[in-house]
Chain A
């Protein structure tokens, strides 16, 4: 490839395109953490945001490998396609993977299955215990401020106490791009490199960078059933019940989390171009369309975040 000037594609020499500006900001955040912390780790769920986060990390430290491990909180209700993707990426990139298993906590009697079968809220304990035992001091999450109104108040560097708790009223003001990562022993900092990205930015970037995703993000036929206004995948996690008929529909997943609380949307978007067009035209937010866990109450996300959730 021939060298060429960067930042001079348009007449206005100072203006990067919006994806270049977001990418540059995220890479800057990754490098700040690498420069200031001892034991960072990247939370990796196999969802599109964590996949984009890993892609940015690979670019930030190239040609050297990513200097951090990955941590996956496995609910035991993950989509098999997503676990396959995770294992493939880890092998291809020579990464180190930690797995904190919710099933393991249930088997040991430390956590109890909820009556509704949802395991998303159960992730907090395995996550925070693994952070503590591994002494991770910086934990990258793929959270975006446009996702949810409590997340709109989140810092890029978000200090957590030794119980991983978030106190929104005691957040450090974050000025310019001067991130303050100072913390006491036992405390850690959650870092959100995608803070300023929107769902559409993420998809445009996936298209531009030709990033491979688990197939469930694209339209496919799948046996699903209706619960709480969402299409859920049938599986041995607890669905469907006798009065929830299963039908095969053309669907795709707009977010990927626990099978028990992540709904599919009716979609014929089989390609990335169609997915982007679908999102640009959508009248629902991604969480509004697909996540049962955020429908619990007006402050459901804030409450989970306070307890140490992603």
Chain B
């Protein structure tokens, strides 16, 4: 398999190329569409017929120059109203990397869309207008990136052309934002001065900001480390299904974090039974060790009861086996979430009955102010919940593992996705947050 793989991918230069999922949050006012349009256009990812369609539609709307926002606004209502409603996924590639861009609207009523885009992103680009600096919306976007534990954050200080490409303007904004984001627990902030309109530091380095020695946006996207550190995490393998063939049982799933090795002891959660990995098969290829990210099947040494919803774990950091979940949720449905509501909780491959026992607080992301005992959460609200489940879950803190700390709350009647949950504390450094945003220390329970 490996010999012809190299040949096929070698047609495009160095191989294998990696995949980066990233998100952008912002509004048209910040120049987000222009930035996305320029990334796609300058990386030669917009093809002639797409550009022709954009030019045609722009002319029909009376615009003098092509409106690059029309590249991403795919629904009729979005084009007619000139707004982005939903997450749009865009795909482009450079010789070094393949990119999946989740392009999300920035206003507060679209918090759920931003949370959706950030949930799978390994990097978020947050846009700031250099004339306005860090505003309420910027703080909200930083809080979402911190809440969703996006490992890399890029602050793109846009419209530098309108502030005379002044280093002092950029430095002040970068310093203020970095301090705020770091206090929230964002592990890495890269600030880049750009002009999306003029093309400075988006794909090509700017000739007008020689005081800036860092990468352009695209250079950073191409070189940032991917993989989320998942391979270094604790071993987590939720069983999706059991494949039975000629008397053998193959446990099929995706290794979400850590490693699996033949001969290694694994624990079946939540039952706690211990057995040994007898064989690993990665889609037709036998392996003696597998790292996070791969879909595979596992054979176990002992005939024990394992099925969909169980999880194989290994290593020193076992998950918490619990029937009570304390978590931060983003409410995504149009109907509210209320105390006492009966729901389904979907965690990895396990879906269990659950009840919302308490909603201790609601959080305003713009200023991190909290509102105790709101009673219910409505669409786009972020809040703390305590949920009790009918069956035990093998839970990690979302801070330790995004894939095994995340869950959905689902309406058992009509199947609506109600809320996106993150187990454990909301922000990494609650004490620092308190200091940074000056809320009363005794009232802070995030």
Contact = CB atoms under 8 A, between A and B. Distances in A.
Contacts of A62: 243, 283-284
A14 B241 contact: no
B190 interface: no
A248 to B, nearest CB: 27
Nearest to A282: B47
A152 B72 contact: yes
B288 A180 contact: no
Contacts of B1: 1
Interface string A16-31: 1111111111011001
Contacts of A27: 254, 283, 295
A238 B47 CA distance: 32
Interface string B34-68: 00000000000001111001000100000000000
Contact of A288 (B47, B280, B402): B47
Q: Tell which of A5, A59, A159 has the most Cβ of chain B within 10 Å.
A: A5
B136 interface: no
Given A62-B284, A63-B250, A183-B415, A145 B241 contact: no
- Majority SS of interface residues in chain B? mixed
Contacts of B308: 35
A151 B90 CA distance: 11
Interface residues of B, number: 96
Contacts of A168: 75, 77, 86
Contact of A14 (B15, B91, B231, B244): B231
A172 B227 contact: no
Contacts of B50: 285, 288
Nearest to A274: B11
A145 B89 contact: yes
A195 B47 CA distance: 20
A172 B416 contact: yes
Contact residues on A (Cβ < 8 Å of other chain), bracket: 35 or more
Interface string B170-183: 00000000000000
Interface string B291-312: 1111110000000000010000
Nearest to A61: B243
Contact of B290 (A5, A152, A277): A5
Interface stretch (B203-211, B353-361, B406-414): B406-414
Contacts of A20: 16, 293-294
Contacts of A23: 283, 295
A176 B399 CA distance: 14
B314 interface: no
Contacts of A19: 9, 16
B286 interface: yes
A146 interface: yes
B277 to A, nearest CB: 12
A276 B12 CA distance: 9
Given A18-B17, A284-B48, A201 B283 contact: no
Contacts of A110: none
B408 A280 contact: no
B438 interface: no
B245 A169 contact: no
A9 interface: yes
Interface string B417-445: 10010000000000000000000000000
Interface in A158-172: 159, 168-169, 171-172
A2 to B, nearest CB: 8
A35 B240 CA distance: 6
B88 interface: yes
Contacts of A176: 119-120, 402-403, 406, 420
Contacts of B116: 173-175
5 contacts: A18-B98, A24-B254, A174-B116, A182-B415, A288-B47
Interface of A: 1, 3-10, 12-25, 27-28, 31-32, 34-35, 59-64, 145-146, 148-153, 159, 168-169, 171-178, 180, 182-184, 195-196, 198, 200-201, 204, 207-208, 210, 272-273, 276-277, 280, 282-285, 288-289, 298-299, 302
Given A14-B228, A14-B231, 7 more contacts: A1-B1, A5-B287, A7-B291, A12-B18, A17-B9, A21-B19, A302-B74
The 6 tightest CB contacts between A and B, nearest first, are: A17-B16, A182-B415, A14-B227, A288-B49, A7-B291, A149-B74
Interface of B: 1-2, 4-5, 8-9, 11-12, 15-19, 47-50, 53, 57, 71-77, 79, 85-91, 93, 97-98, 100, 112-113, 115-116, 119-120, 225-232, 240-241, 243-246, 250, 252-254, 262, 280, 282-296, 308, 332, 344, 346, 348-349, 402-403, 406-408, 410, 414-417, 420
